[in-house]
């Protein structure tokens, strides 16, 4: 058998090859595959060709691997709502939902994790899906994205490999909903194009505090086309009005045990109490000349346009105001497809997007069992649907007349002839090309403009606040510590040297391994300007407010009734929710003899469920809590997770036992706490845990 080796492809990707015919990669028909890294395109930056049978077979088989659960994004939570346009955008798009200021369009939005099954937990370290179905007057538009603006791969032919690597290992069936294992990091370390996404995946972005505090992105470069046929490139952004907030890793792990449905519950309860989640939709709009001026290719889905280079223009808002009536009928059966666009929205030759346009429709057929899945109420358009598609499994429409073909002349005989094409208002594909070399040889190749895999990864890391950099480095250390293959750890660290030598050194120190040399780079690594917009901590959406948050208030027998009423009133006045926690769910007897019922029992209401905490107890109540481990843990975790802690003077012995050291986030239980509770105290973190 010939010796296997590693080779670097034309796009800088690294993959294994062999000269042994017995090990050669083939299709399911036994046809040898010459290139498993790139789709067949018309020219280096051209569109993907339908004749690529290797791609079609690979994606087709991948789409049908699981039934009936989604292969990816299986665990999701969703809500109904509406989109309201801020202005008339007719100058850049003919899309109906943007045609006038104040126009409202109904929608259904589903948030999801990627790797775990439907029965996994809400809070793993994972990318979150962010998919919006707009029910416009000209049909459904599905904007199917993530809470991260880039992706792991540049070409859709690699998607099955990516997901196979991150899913449960094939022989063991674990770990579930986790990337901290050999196969994922083996794949990632061999795919330098994934480096930028790994920076995001190991950052706090993948452990969000709630679904309401996530940004959303369309990832790809799309087109908007106006009535005159003029095209404008666009990237889509969702900006949460609630701010962007994340957990720390220890907190996310404990939330998973305390409440596996934490984020699903948070979304439901926010809507239920009328605190409707809201996002603003923004676009980065640009032309071909601007695209050409950038130091990267806008068709590369592993790249972003920094907001400091091209600001985001806010064009509307999304409000989620109604929870599904039935989880299965709506959240489970909703079928998103990036190919669902309306007149005025169009595609580009992004090779990841092009593959997605094929994959999703095929997936829905397997999951929902019928080509008529679009007739399910949650998927059905809210405008007239008229065509000659007939029959099929689970057909729910009852077409009348004998016309089931077009063209026909039955109307000349007085019969119903059916609908006709509409050149004036129908969808027309933008005829222009993404690049001059679109018409070219049939090639499996990446353009050279896709070859820089490290510059934006470096920019992302250097844009983060100091605590976020420490979290990212520590996350990589944790993940690689679960990798048993030492050569994979070494190879990954070699890639990180290209990103930032200090980051690589921190990871090496965290693993107690020597720092290797940098891996070969297919393109020079550039020092791009940092982008402060990428930060969560001290970033543009780090809102110092308790509005929409939950505050845990720990009480016990003897708690001062007047102080409790004043404090909960102040919390409500700040737009937050006070959650009463007591040793027993029946409540506690207050100082005035009244009984305050609890929302949660102490053992079932740990502080990880809250954004800040209050310990409001008497001497007697504190003495009782000192013998309760859950009370000590309640305070200890709040302090360790850098949250604000308010307390009555009588609670001091409990704080001492929990190891609380006074700082700016440890305050008296009075109205001033409302201001202190609006943020986390990250400067406390190095004192409570070791960070890379």
Q: Which residues are catalytic?
A: 73, 146
Tally of helices (H runs) and strands (E runs) in the chain: 17, 22
CA dihedral 553, 555, 561, 563 (to 10 degrees): -50
Strands (E), 505-617: 550-554, 577-582, 588-589, 595-596, 600-601, 612-615
In the numeric block, the tokens 């800088």 are attached to 12
Please state, as a whole number, how many other Cβ atoms lie within 10 Å of the Cβ of residue 544. 10
End-to-end alpha carbon distance in the chain: 43
> What is the Cα–Cα distance from 528 to 531, expressed in whole angstroms?
9
CB half-sphere exposure, 361, CA atoms < 13 A: 10
Nearest Cα residue to 137 out of 97, 192, 189, 182:
97
In the numeric block, the tokens 């986790």 are attached to 178
Classify residue 642 as left (phi > 0), alpha (psi -120 to 50) or beta.
left
Cis peptide before 671 (omega within 30 of 0): no
List C-alpha distances in Å: 342 to 227, 319, 533: 13, 21, 31
Contact, 429 vs 437, CB < 8 A? no
Supply 295's token pair: 């130091």
Contact, 584 vs 598, CB < 8 A? yes
∠ CA 185-190-192, nearest 5°, is 100
- As beta bridge partners, residue 77 has 111
- As beta bridge partners, residue 551 has 578, 612
> What is the Cα–Cα distance from 297 to 290, expressed in whole angstroms?
11
């Amino acid at each position: 058998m010939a010796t296997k080796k590693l080779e670097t492809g034309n796009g800088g990707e690294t993959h294994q090859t062999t000269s042994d015919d017995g090990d050669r990669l083939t299709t399911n028909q036994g046809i040898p595959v010459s290139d498993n890294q790139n789709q067949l395109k018309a020219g280096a930056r051209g569109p993907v060709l339908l004749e690529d049978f290797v791609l079609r077979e690979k994606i087709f088989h991948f789409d049908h691997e699981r039934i009936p659960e989604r292969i990816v994004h299986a665990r999701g939570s969703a809500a109904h709502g509406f989109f309201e346009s801020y202005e008339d955008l007719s100058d850049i798009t003919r899309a109906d939902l943007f045609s006038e200021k104040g126009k409202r369009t109904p929608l259904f939005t589903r948030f999801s994790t990627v790797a775990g099954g439907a029965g996994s937990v809400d809070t793993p370290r994972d990318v979150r899906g962010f998919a919006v179905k707009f029910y416009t007057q000209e049909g459904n538009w599905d904007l199917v994205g993530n809470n991260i603006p880039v992706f792991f791969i540049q070409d859709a032919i690699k998607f099955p490999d990516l997901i196979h690597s991150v899913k449960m290992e094939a022989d063991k069936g674990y770990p579930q909903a986790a990337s901290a294992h050999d196969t994922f990091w083996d794949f990632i370390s061999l795919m330098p194009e994934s480096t930028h996404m790994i920076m995001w995946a190991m950052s706090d972005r993948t452990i969000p505090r709630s679904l309401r505090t996530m940004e959303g992105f369309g990832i790809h470069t799309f087109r908007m086309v106006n009535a005159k046929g003029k095209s404008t490139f666009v990237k889509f952004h969702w900006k949460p009005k609630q701010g962007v907030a994340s957990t720390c890793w220890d907190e996310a792990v404990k939330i998973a045990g305390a409440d596996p449905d934490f984020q699903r519950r948070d979304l439901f309860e926010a809507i239920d109490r009328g605190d409707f989640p809201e996002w603003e939709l923004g676009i980065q709009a640009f032309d071909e000349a601007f695209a050409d001026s950038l130091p990267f290719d806008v068709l590369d889905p592993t790249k972003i346009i920094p907001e400091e280079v091209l600001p985001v223009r806010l064009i509307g808002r999304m409000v989620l105001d109604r929870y599904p009536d039935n989880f299965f009928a709506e959240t489970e059966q909703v079928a998103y497809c990036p190919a669902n666009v309306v007149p005025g929205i169009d595609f580009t030759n992004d090779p990841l997007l092009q593959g997605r346009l094929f994959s999703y429709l095929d997936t829905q057929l397997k999951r929902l069992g019928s080509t008529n899945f679009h007739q399910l109420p949650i998927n059905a358009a809210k405008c007239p649907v008229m065509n000659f598609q007939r029959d099929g499994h689970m057909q729910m429409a009852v077409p009348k007349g004998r016309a089931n073909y077009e063209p026909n002349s039955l109307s000349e005989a007085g019969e119903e002839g059916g609908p006709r094409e509409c050149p004036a208002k129908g969808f027309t594909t933008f005829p222009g090309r993404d690049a001059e070399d679109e018409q070219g040889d049939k090639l499996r190749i990446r353009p050279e403009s896709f070859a820089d895999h490290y510059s934006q990864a470096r920019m992302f890391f250097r844009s983060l606040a100091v605590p976020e950099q420490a979290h990212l480095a520590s996350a990589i250390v944790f993940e690689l510590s679960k990798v048993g293959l030492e050569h994979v750890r070494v190879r990954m660290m070699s890639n990180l040297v290209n990103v930032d030598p200090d980051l690589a050194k921190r990871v090496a120190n965290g693993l107690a391994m020597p720092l290797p040399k940098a891996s070969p780079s297919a393109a020079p690594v550039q020092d791009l300007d940092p982008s402060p917009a990428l930060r969560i901590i001290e970033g543009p959406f780090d809102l110092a407010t308790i509005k929409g948050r939950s505050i845990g208030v720990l009480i016990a027998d003897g708690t001062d009734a007047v102080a409790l009423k004043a404090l909960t009133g102040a919390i409500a006045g700040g737009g937050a929710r006070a959650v009463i926690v007591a040793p027993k769910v029946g409540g506690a007897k207050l100082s005035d003899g009244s009984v305050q019922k609890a929302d949660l029992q102490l053992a079932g209401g740990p502080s990880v469920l809250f954004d800040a905490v209050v310990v409001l107890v008497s001497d007697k109540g504190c003495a009782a809590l000192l013998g309760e481990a859950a009370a000590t843990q309640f305070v200890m975790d709040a302090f360790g997770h850098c949250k604000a802690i308010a307390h009555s003077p009588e609670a001091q012995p409990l704080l001492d036992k929990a190891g609380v050291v006074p700082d700016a986030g440890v305050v008296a239980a009075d109205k001033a706490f409302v201001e202190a509770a609006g943020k986390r105290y990250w400067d406390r973190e190095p004192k409570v845990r070791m960070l890379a």
